[in-house]
Amino acid sequence: MQVNEEQVQETLPLASKVDTSKVTLWKGFVGGLLGSFVILGIFLFLFGGQGWKQSVAYTQNSQPHALAVKTSPQASKTLNDFETAILGAVERTKGAVVSIGNLQDPKSGDLFGSYSGQAELPDPNANLEVVGEGSGVIYKIEGNKAYIVTNNHVIDGNKALQVIMADGQKVDAKVLGSDQITDLAVVTIDAKYAKNKIEFANSDNIKVGSLAIAIGSPLGSHFASSVTQGIVSGLNRSMPVDVNQDGVKDWTASLLQTDAAINPGNSGGALVNKDGQLIGINSNKFSSTGIEGMGFAIPSNEVKTIIDQLEKNGKVTRPVLGISSVDVNLLSDHSRIDILQLDPEQTSGVAIRDVESGSSAEKAGLKGYDVIIELDGKKIEDTASLRNVLYNHKEGDKIEVKYLRQGKEAQTTVSLQAPKEELNSGN
């Protein structure tokens, strides 16, 4: 806005006498002042808006030399939702995850413990000691029994089992069935002690990056119901399994990988999703210098398949060919090339040592020194891969077998049979 001499004079009192030179000087002063404010305002508007806001925030901050940072409503909501999901999952599983004590004879004990000629034998469990502790998950309460799934290695070799409930109460337990191959077992307790059970999720729907919460008893029942949180790091991770500890893998397990902390004592415990549903049974971890956050769990769908069989039969029945065998890659060059007459480059496959009389293999025409290279259309590298194919079938299934006899390829059809004995060195 322009200011002229006449306007200035009109704003003054009528009784005043105006000196024109003074008015001119006053006009210059007011104009300069107004101009400065205008320029300052434009500068702040264009360049200082954010800085002005930060300056205001700073002056409102009670701590000197610190800029007040406000969390956005969306960030706060995300954090609250994350915490709520974990709290909800833990609440829904409360009491369903327990500790399991494996009781065995003490190393210094003898058959009769402190027996010294009493009229009655002492209680055979009186001298038992807890040699290891793991975790377990209550998955069914039916009639007068509560069913708990855990790892086979948690209950292996026990003379008695003791389940420690979430409230610390100790309860006797019995093994209903176990399976070395999948490292799963089912034990039962009186239903009156069980207050909650866990629900199963469909592990086929699990995605990498999904929330994973591990619940169990790391280092034993002293730390019972410990909760660790992470994500599902990977699916279908292949892990070799040596059942009889002979240095040769008997089976290749397909496991879930998680970075949720898994420690000794977590074995047999629950890995759950954000809804508190079981996605896996914690089984093992990689533990070495430089390796962190690599735990593994048996997927819930496989767990359900195995425990259904353990409930009904006490064991898992898998089909066999009726042979004893050895991996080709374990044979000497002399055995491979001179005896089996294999090509020097042929290092994969399973060589048949013996064929059981009346077995599926014998009926299909297989003989000793034949080398199985393909089963049901899948390449056979070793005994573990052969069993992986076999165990995906059931008794009575017919499958194609491709093999080498004296170096020449042949094929036959085998009708699978049930084993006559428990798993040993045969297939």
Handedness of CA 348, 353, 359, 363 (dihedral sign): positive
CA 161 vs. chain centroid, Å, equals: 25
Closest CA to 331 of 243, 219, 248: 248
Give catalytic status of residue 267 as yes or no.
yes
Give catalytic status of residue 393 as yes or no.
no
Please tell me which residue in 99, 226, 267, 385 is annotated as part of the active site: 267
Give catalytic status of residue 116 as yes or no.
no
Please tell me which residue in 99, 178, 179, 183 is annotated as part of the active site: 183
The H or E element containing residue 165 is none
Handedness of CA 214, 219, 220, 224 (dihedral sign): negative
> Which residues 6+ apart lie within 8 Å of 321 measured at CB?
359, 360, 361, 366, 390, 401, 414, 416, 427
Strand partners, 412: 401
Please tell me which residue in 99, 135, 153, 250 is annotated as part of the active site: 153
Which DSSP string do the residues of 45-102 spell out, in sequence order?
Answer: HHHSHHHHHHHHHHHH-SSTT----PPPHHHHHHHHHHHHHHHHHHHHTTTTEEEEEE
The H or E element containing residue 39 is helix 20-47
- In the Cβ-directed half-sphere of 275, how many Cα atoms lie within 13 Å? 8
Alpha helices in 71-186 (DSSP H): 73-92, 152-155
CA distance 79 to 104: 47
**Catalytically active residues, by annotation:** 153, 183, 267
